[in-house]
Homo-oligomer: A and B are copies of this chain.
């Protein structure tokens, strides 16, 4: 038995998210179906975490076990031959027997992309949130810095989730601008459900002048969902990178 790990890239536009759902096609389902076709085994795939409907991944990590004689690095080719073009396995290789894509992840990095222009773009329509209001980057940068460090992120998780411990450590939280395109990059040792989308939605209200940068401090202190801003739409969000003790997706993608 071998444990195989993969880096998977997907355009989430046409999927109900990573995880198998009753109401539509998921990325996990298509990969498991293809693995079954290729290996003849009923394979279960474990990812670093689920992504919501419409959320994208440049570098999702997932592992599975197989008795197949297919060389580990060839799984990427074998799977891509049968997968739709909006899901691509960018790497496959053998992992240590005890590697776990979810439990071993040291940190994950997400990017929220905003297209700030009078008119939306044909090419960014599925991967950036279009905002035509003027956004004040200085205010958004002030707010972004307040998320750095160890905090209880209870106010920044979907109201219907029941997680015991909402303390996470954010090691990167910054806005950058390239012409009309704004990127918010955030790295943490873990994320709560909808955490990045609520952080982004809060900062966008701050950028539009509807909320003060300091309001982030209050939300972090009270832990009340209604002290934070709205959940930004899914299609602006992308899982960019996952780091492990012995494995970093950035080492395989350029």
Mark A179-212 against chain B: 1 for CB-CB distance below 8 A, else 0. 1100000000000000000000000000000000
- Interface of A toward B, CB cutoff 8 Å: 9-11, 56, 58, 76-77, 80, 85-91, 117-123, 125, 127, 179-180, 253-254
Contact assessment for B86 and A122 in the assembled complex, using a CB-CB cutoff below 8 Å: yes
Contact assessment for B85 and A120 in the assembled complex, using a CB-CB cutoff below 8 Å: yes
Interface of A: prevailing SS? loop
Contact assessment for B9 and A123 in the assembled complex, using a CB-CB cutoff below 8 Å: yes
Contact assessment for A122 and B11 in the assembled complex, using a CB-CB cutoff below 8 Å: yes
Distance in angstroms between the alpha carbons of A10 and B123 in the assembled complex: 7
Distance in angstroms between the alpha carbons of A73 and B254 in the assembled complex: 40
Query: Which of chain B's residues have a CB closer than 8 A to the CB of A77?
Result: 119
Contact assessment for A90 and B76 in the assembled complex, using a CB-CB cutoff below 8 Å: no
Distance in angstroms between the alpha carbons of A87 and B125 in the assembled complex: 10
Query: Which of chain B's residues have a CB closer than 8 A to the CB of A127?
Result: 123
| Residue with the highest number of chain B CB atoms closer than 10 Å, among A11, A87, A123, A253 | A123
- Nearest-neighbour CB distance to chain B for A194, whole angstroms, equals 23
Query: Which of chain B's residues have a CB closer than 8 A to the CB of A58?
Result: 123
Contact assessment for A254 and B122 in the assembled complex, using a CB-CB cutoff below 8 Å: no
Closest 8 CB pairs of A and B: A179-B254, A85-B125, A11-B122, A9-B122, A88-B122, A86-B122, A180-B254, A90-B119
Given the known A-B contacts A179-B254, A254-B179, A254-B180, are A85 and B119 also in contact in the complex, defined by CB atoms under 8 Å? no
Query: Which of chain B's residues have a CB closer than 8 A to the CB of A85?
Result: 120, 122, 125
Distance in angstroms between the alpha carbons of A91 and B85 in the assembled complex: 32
Distance in angstroms between the alpha carbons of A123 and B77 in the assembled complex: 18
- Nearest-neighbour CB distance to chain B for A73, whole angstroms, equals 9
Given the known A-B contacts A80-B119, A254-B180, are A125 and B90 also in contact in the complex, defined by CB atoms under 8 Å? no
Which of B76, B88, B118, B180 interacts with A121 by CB under 8 Å?
Answer: B88
